[in-house]
Amino acid sequence: MFDSGIGGLTVLREARVLMPDRRFVYVADDAAFPYGAWEEPALQDHILGVFGRLLARHDPAISVIACNTASTLVIDALRKAFPGHPFVGTVPAIKPAAERTRSGLVSVLATPGTVRRQYTRDLITNWASKCHVRLVGSDRLASLAEIYMRDGFVDEEAVRAEIAPCFVERDGLRTDIVVLACTHYPFLVNRMRKTAPWPVDWLDPAEAIARRALSLLDPGGGGAEATERGDVAIFTSGKADSAARRLMHGFGLTVA
Ligand code: DGL
């Protein structure tokens, strides 16, 4: 389970429910956080390099890229670079949002990187051409989620300001769905609900991603090992502080 930080934990908790017998390696590429601010070619090279080392070391049955900012950029390149290894990506849930909206006004809340991606634009063209989709790139929410989960503090006014552009009123209609297109954001969803100008459906794809991973796994493999060894968390910086360790511990992960 791979992310730039703690966001992939929102997917891990769903995966655990669906695959209780599996063993998980959680990777937080915190040395490179936040991905949202990176230029595309540099980020692609970086993630391919990190994955080369991770796959050689851990040889997982499957890799889940629990990060929209990474998946929308490198999922195809990863599949090409490591043929035969199954990857599950996380991309903005634009198709289900387009199927569910009643007002036709949908917002996609993501990192600036995900908002810039051609992949994201193509999802809108292919699946939501009849909707009005507003892309909202947030500079701060992923970091706010990191602080909240480690230190228990969240600046509510900052959350309010970051989500405000998601709320559109047009011809008497209002945005009724906000796609949480960054895996960090579900950790802040209660604050988002509290500071939103009106109620909306906040779409979190974590369960769907976990189901996809389950569907690709061989039902027989991996279970025996899971009962013998615990789940681990890896921080690419090699410098997890005590708050990060405590958080991982709360998720049943031992920092390697
Ligand atoms: N959790 C990541 C995502 O889903 C992004 C956070 C970041 O590194 O900016 O996009």
Please, are residues 101 and 255 in contact by the beta-carbon 8 Å criterion? no
List the catalytic residue out of 54, 109, 182, 248: 182
Please, are residues 215 and 222 in contact by the beta-carbon 8 Å criterion? no
Ligand 1 atom, smallest distance to 90 CA: 4
Phi/psi at 105 (nearest 5 deg)?
A: -105, 115
What is the tens place of the pLDDT at every residue in 223-237?
445 445 689 999 999
Task: Point out which residues pair with 110 in neighbouring strands.
Answer: 137
CA 225 / ligand 1 centre spacing (Å): 30
Active site includes 67?
yes
Please, are residues 133 and 124 in contact by the beta-carbon 8 Å criterion? yes
Contacts for 138 with CB less than 8 Å, ≥ 6 apart:
109, 110, 111, 112, 162, 163, 182
The encoded tokens of residue 244 equal 């990060």
Name the band, by pLDDT with cuts 50, 70 and 90, for residue 2: very high
Ligand 1 within 6 A of CB of 184: yes
Average of per-residue pLDDT values in the chain: 95
Nearest CA to ligand 1 atom 2: 67
Please, are residues 185 and 205 in contact by the beta-carbon 8 Å criterion? no
What is the tens place of the pLDDT at every residue in 184-224?
999 999 999 999 999 999 999 999 999 999 999 987 665 44
CA 129 / ligand 1 centre spacing (Å): 26
Which pLDDT score, from 0 to 100, does residue 36 have?
84
Residue of 53, 98, 66, 103 lying closest to 206 (CA atoms) = 66
Which pLDDT score, from 0 to 100, does residue 220 have?
66
Which pLDDT score, from 0 to 100, does residue 221 have?
61
Q: Whole-angstrom Cα distance, residue 72 to residue 104?
A: 24
Is the torsion defined by CA of 8, 79, 256, 32 positive or negative? negative
The domains of the chain, with CATH numbers, are 2-90+207-255 (3.40.50.1860), 94-204 (3.40.50.1860)
List the catalytic residue out of 11, 27, 67, 200: 67
pTM for this predicted structure: 0.94
Q: Whole-angstrom Cα distance, residue 234 to residue 228?
A: 19
Entry field: residues in the chain: 256
Average pLDDT over residues 37-46: 94
